[in-house]
Chains A and B, each alone.
Chain A
Amino acid sequence: MRPFLSAVLALVCLAVSSAQAAHTQVQLIFSADSVKRGDTVLAAVHLTMDSGWHTYWKNPGEAGQATEIKWQLPPGVSAGEIEWPLPSKLPPADITTYGYEKEVVLIIPLTISNGLPTGPLNIAAKVSWLECNESCIPANAQVQAPLNIGSDTKPSADDALIESWLAKVPKAMTGFTAQAFWQNTTTNDTRPLLLQAAWQPARAAAGSGNMDFFPAANDNFEVLPDAKVILNNANELDLGKSVKKFSGDWPKEIDGVLITGDGAYEVKLAVAENTPSTVALPGSAATTRATNNAPQSLWLMLLYAVIGGLILNLMPCVLPVIALKILGFVNEAGSSPRKIRTLGSIYAAGVLVSFAVLAAIVIAVKAAGHKAGWGMQFGSPVFIVCLTTLVTLVAMNLFGVFEVVIGGRAYDSAGELASRSGASGAFFNGVLATTLATPCTAPFLAPALGFAFAQPAAIVLLFFLAIGFGLALPYVLLSWNPALLKLLPKPGAWMEKFKIAMGFPMLATVVWLFNIAASSYGKDVLWLGIFLVVVAFAAWVYGEFVQRGKNKAVATVITLVLLVGGYAFALEKELDWRHAMPMTDAGSLKESANGINWQPWSPEAVAQARAAGKPVLVDFTADWCLTCQVNKKTSIEVDSVRKKITDSNTVAMVGDYTHFPDSITTELNRFNRAGVPLVLVYPKNPAADPIVLPEVLTPGIVMDALERAAQ
């Protein structure tokens, strides 16, 4: 190694301004060919790495070494600090380092003193770096280049290249404030840290790209590479990091580069110590935040929710219902203001109650450990079939095929239902508007919803109610201010035509819902179509012969036969509509047909299997544990391990720590673990100790352990 390096060194010393070591080329360039005395010129060391090789940032991270530049400058020229362009996290493996692949331009300002005579100067430097791919090679090179001192400063051919890299250098912190908080006290070497940046006024701090924090190098601690974006909206970014301490006290100050949606910034943050808090959580110590600096965030998000609700009124999936509502108000214009107010309020109540029900569903699903998403009810085929049928009936109603009867009285339009039928009609409109609105996530609503889904139950409820409030607001305002109602067109014959016209968007909604249903039922969705036709026909028989006809009894029987027959044949027999895509997978923990046959973990189950002389694999996992999911995907639910488990007659058990059950906490403590992942393999021999697998698994590790356990 040594003679080889010496030979390389000898070679590179022969080069003039460019040098090549094993896998990196180095070149010294300037932003100007000719510089005026007193000016500053940008010098740059251009490192070009062979494919697969990289060099390091000023903080190399968990391994590696920063590139160094030692200048040999003539008198009158002084060099500043290196401006480091933003590096990448490398490699994407167990050990994270910060560095550059392919190439990097390290920029150094050189100041030319006033006293220098004009003429050429020779600028030289020794550049040392560590280059790594699968292995690492330390290398250095002597570089030099001429620089002319002249009467003015002229940009060089390399100026554009240097400028383009200068643009990648993190900027000074501007336009936002940032703070750092310890998340809890700890006796461990690793402590969670919350970094928070707030923009005033709000601007697009969000966006694509990875928000992160790259720390400056420090011998006493390392801000670990894993980053978690906790909150990301237009005016605030909350980033979860953790600090590993090597020596001394926990740092009082953290400096490095904060990477936000709108750029990378140099930050130097005092870390606020935690104070006692009333918030205690299972599985972790008490947590607090030192300051409450963003009291407006919640209100702002609620405001977005209200605005989002307002916009929902204009969404294609709600627009048809507006027909019902407008007709209702037009009709109401003539009656007493008090009654209008009452109906407006009841409509709002219908909306709010529906949103409260949705919130309750979300809360319940969240509590059940599933990831709830907006519009998730649209993932249920049963719900889709019901809604498609309902909307078809609404369309038939608008076309005047039949009328809706409430309280034994027939009405001649759904519009009148909303008005004259009073309370129940208004309430029904509110519920219908809500049901149809859910899949239309208006752009405004997205951040509000994203925020709400990560919140506790009370906040979720508040958000849903805010959206409902926004949806109901225009009608409440109209009903409380009858003067505005006068602006609405007068009722007349046009209403009947308008009503029929509004039936077509409703039909379009049916087509849209039908298309969603197709994704669940495949080709069999044809039977849903046939059922809808039967339902529409039944509606016509009902309207024409039951409501308006003479032979009511026969017509009623025909209607019922159509409905029951259509349901039994098309939906039940042919479509088997309730079994398209089961919502729950309870009963089996298998992830796929050929997946591992997981059993629920319990100490008794382990004891029982061991007594039977079987090896046992236990995977303690949690929905929120990313490492667990990665382990499972890459190293447990893989063919080789599945086969090994079957062949060695190993019992696979899964312990779900998502909700911190005490039994698992106890078990984790027994193995000195504070949390999951924990994967154990109990050998066949009931007396032998279990094999504790490392936190990060490879299929090889699991296979080895299973092999040993089976012996």
Chain B
Amino acid sequence: MSAAHQVEHVTCLGCGCGCDDINVTVMDDRIVDAIPACPVGRAWFGDGSVPWEVLQGGKRATLEHALTEAASILTKPRGSLLVYLGPDLTSQAQRAAVALTDFLGAAVDSATSDAAAEGLLAAQRRGRATATLGEIRNRGDVLLFWGVDPNRRYPRYLSRYALEPAGTQIPNGRAGRFVIAVNIGADKGPAEADLTITLEPSEEIAALSLMRAAVLDHPARDQSPNLVSAIGLIGRLTSARYAVLVHDAEPTELPRNPLRVEGLIALAQALNGPTRAALSSLRGGGNRPGAESVLTWQTGYPFAVDHSRGYPRYMPGDRGLDRLVRGAFTAALVVGSPALAGEAAAALGGIETVAIGPGASRAPFTTRVAIDTGTAGIHEGGTAYRMDEVPLSLRPPLTGQRSTVQTLEALMDAVRTKRPGRSA
């Protein structure tokens, strides 16, 4: 047994908070402690053990043979190909995967949820007013939580960014902030709120619209008591020095009105007339915003891109996994954790699928080739983006046996040997 050692300032990708203050204790190549990680973070790190296998047709193979077979599958003529980016990839791996997508003329989609996609599309129509998390910490004096309690899925959001810490303009921390919870049916705000109001789901969009109207000095008349209380929040918000609206950009168990995010974007923008305001969108773990960032700088679009015509096309209304389930693809490359279930997993099992990522050899669908690699931030260094799109440095506490980036680059070499020219 070897002595334990510590790796300091590790960045946790358990949720989108991207806490980079984690002190990880490693013993015998296993993570034995992660402090001060929250429960979500501890679950993310686990003990860091992942399989390190290479499978071809379900049987062990050499990496060279597996890559050659994968290249054959991905370069078949007249095939149509999906590349899927799992959530736990470094941006370096995402770049290598999108390069393959481009070269192979494939469709590419990512772990960007449909709910998050609604927000991206709304922001493409309107723009947005937002801020990095440190601005919330340093300036946010009125915080409004719209149907979300960050304690549930983003446990350190309040303690690190939004509520408790002192900031440059909030020297007294919690005492210097006024917190409003808006409960939307069963979507409840935080219990720590100074003021809580409740809206029925059927009232939500009207409330957002009337609140924005109030900011723009258009008073509303004859509204229900709930809506009157929502409109009444505007006085609090406009008298803030820096108002922050917080919502969950990821899906929950409860159905959600897709107009919510557009209403919040519009309200946050309007609040910048009388005061300053930002909308903070809570995002899930891994490096989801990184995939959106990489896809944007390489293709011009943040998700749902198709290269089958030799150039990037945006297909936000007909995403890769939807097309997969419809039988639109003959082969797939799944990069990152193969955490797909249900119809998508069934569809992947029915076509020729190559999986490269942490746990690829144990994918819940049949693979032709599976190559295990490490997880971003646990075995792999590089960059990941926080929920506010700040790029963070990753300090992996463990050493992986095979990196995702190097495996994808080797696959690219094998692909270019099979098909020297581009498909376009």
Indicate, yes or no, whether A interacts with B. no
A residues whose Cβ falls under 8 Å from a Cβ of B: none
